[in-house]
Amino acid sequence: DVKVTQSSRYLVKRTGEKVFLECVQDMDHENMFWYRQDPGLGLRLIYFSYDVKMKEKGDIPEGYSVSREKKERFSLILESASTNQTSMYLCASEGLAGESLEQFFGPGTRLTVL
Amino acid sequence: RKEVEQDPGPFNVPEGATVAFNCTYSNSASQSFFWYRQDCRKEPKLLMSVYSSGNEDGRFTAQLNRASQYISLLIRDSKLSDSATYLCVVNPNTDKLIFGTGTRLQVFP
């Protein structure tokens, strides 16, 4: 079974703090993604990566950066957390499932910024 | 217009009922379609891919209508354990997936 893990299930930070969210997958997938999920807005793509040291902006990259130093690890960074970044953050790793690509999600990190 | 639109529900149905959800997409070039299931406070998981010819997996049937640009999910003989949010997911022929906001299903005894 594919396993995607995220460093924290719940996180509380203060405005202005630097926040690191870590994601690790064990299936040697090349593609990894960071989303945030908010009520009524669904999942929105923040950043994604197709390979080590490669990153691409998603639909809402502002206020975030990412790091992919190793294939199995994809980190999301909030340089200076703000209250509007309070959200559920979901990491996904993408691989073949039958004939199509499937995204496997981690359990999520619920971040609260005070 | 949103790229992927779903009725948020909730759909409240008794056990044993048949329920159907639709989802519309805006990009006619979209090639891949999926239904994901998300339980409360859990991560989304792939339920099934949607093929042009339609596909069935036990009590679940997914269909694609390219002419009208919608996909559907039919659940027969609903179980309490089917209660969840069902996410419609479309690949608009790019590197990314577009997720709908989900349709909530609540099955009651």
DSSP A62-97: TT-EEEEEETTEEEEEESS--GGG-EEEEEEEEEEE
Of A42, A45, A105, the CB nearest to B96: A45
For the sheet with A65-70, list strands across it.
A4-6, A19-25, A73-78, A65-70
Mark yes or no for CB contact A42/B49 under 8 Å.
no
Q: How does residue A96 score in pLDDT terms, banded at 50, 70 and 90?
A: confident
What is the distance of C-alpha B5 from the center of its chain? 11
Vertex B52: Cα angle to B51 and B53 (nearest 5): 90
- Tell me if A105 and B97 make a contact (CB, 8 A cut-off): no
Give yes or no for B92 touching A (CB within 8 A).
Answer: no
Shortest Cα distance, chain B CAs vs residue A45, angstroms = 8
Query: Residue A66 has what pLDDT?
Result: 97
Q: What is the model's pLDDT at position A54?
A: 93
Residue B96 gets which letter from DSSP?
S
- Residue B24: its H or E element: strand B19-25
A96 pairs with which residues across the strands? A101
d(CA B38, CA B52): 24
Answer yes or no: do A58 and B43 touch at CB < 8 A: no
Which residue has tokens 């997914």?
B62
Taking 90 as the threshold, does the pLDDT of residue B92 lie above it? no
Pick the closest to residue A79 from A95, A58, A65 (CA basis): A65
Give per-residue pLDDT as tens, A20-75. Answer: 999 999 999 999 999 999 988 889 999 999 999 999 999 999 999 999 999 999 99
Is residue A80 over pLDDT 70? yes
Q: What is the helix (H) or strand (E) element at residue A42, kind and residue range? A: strand A42-49
Of the listed ranges A93-97, B25-29, B91-95, the least confidently predicted one is: B91-95
What's the pLDDT score for residue A2? 67
pLDDT at B1 over 90: no
* In the predicted structure, residue A12 carries a pLDDT above the cut 90: yes
Phi-psi bin for B101: left (phi > 0), alpha (psi -120 to 50), beta?
alpha
Instruction: Report CB contact under 8 Å: A48, B95.
Output: yes
Beta-carbon contacts below 8 Å between A and B: 42
Q: Over the Cα atoms of chain A, what is R_g?
A: 13
- The whole-number pLDDT of residue B57 equals 93
- Tokens linked to A110: 């619920």
Q: Which residue has the tokens 């519309």?
A: B24
CA distance A63 to A78: 6
Residue B62, min C-alpha distance to chain A (Å): 15
Those residues whose C-beta lies under 8 Å from the C-beta of residue B94, and which sit 6 or more positions away, are none
pLDDT per residue as tens digits for the range B55-90: 999 999 999 999 999 999 999 999 999 999 999 999
Q: Output the pLDDT for position B23.
A: 96
Which amino acid is located at A33 in the chain? Answer: F
A54 touches chain B (CB under 8 A): no
Q: Is B81 helix (H, G, I), strand (E, B) or coil?
A: helix
